[in-house]
Amino acid sequence: MSKLILASASPRRLELLAQIGIVPDQVAPADIDETPAADESPRRLALRLAEEKARAVAKSNGGAFVLAADTVVACGTRALGKASDEREARKFLTLLSGRRHRVYGGVCLIAPDGTERSRVIETQVKFRTLGTEDLDRYLSHDEWKGKAGAYAIQGHAATFIKAISGSYSNVVGLSLCEVDGLLRGLGYPVKEV
């Protein structure tokens, strides 16, 4: 049986996979440039980054299944990456306050024979209006660090969410429905839960 490599350093992605009984044999984060290309849409960015991560790890791991993902939070046509500091996190959250935004999850799976399949999953999220006190309280924790759009839906920011349309697990970091389908479709032996 071929091994499964997760091309991600995200502990959330490991936890999500474990929820459906999948434990990668190896975790090998890809070191790629994640800078958006000029005029690249957030949707395209999520897909490109997932594909580049999978290809980078597959190059040195022939004969394995390689799964990679990337999450991009978009407000309009603007991609909100991981905030570099608290000031930028406040700016992102203020921008999302009282608005609907999209979370794009790019997923790419490369099979041992080199077959590649990728998808983009779109989830819409609506934030309630956030006041200064909400922002101060949230930013006093380090939960925003390392998160696209400066928030974690599965944490304290859950109180900001007024509505969601689409995959919840996509917003956390990996659409389990799509991943399960990709793995089964390319022949990875997914255990029945």
Active-site residue numbers? 70
162: Cβ–Cβ under 8 A, 6 or more apart, which residues?
Answer: 126, 127, 128
Q: CA 101 to CA 83: how far, in whole Å?
A: 17
Instruction: Answer yes or no: are the C-beta atoms of 19 and 54 closer than 8 Å.
Output: no
Rounded to 5 degrees, what are φ and ψ at 147? -115, 135
Q: CA 157 to CA 180: how far, in whole Å?
A: 27
Instruction: Answer yes or no: are the C-beta atoms of 126 and 164 closer than 8 Å.
Output: yes
Rounded to 5 degrees, what are φ and ψ at 4? -110, 125
- Residue 162, amino acid: K
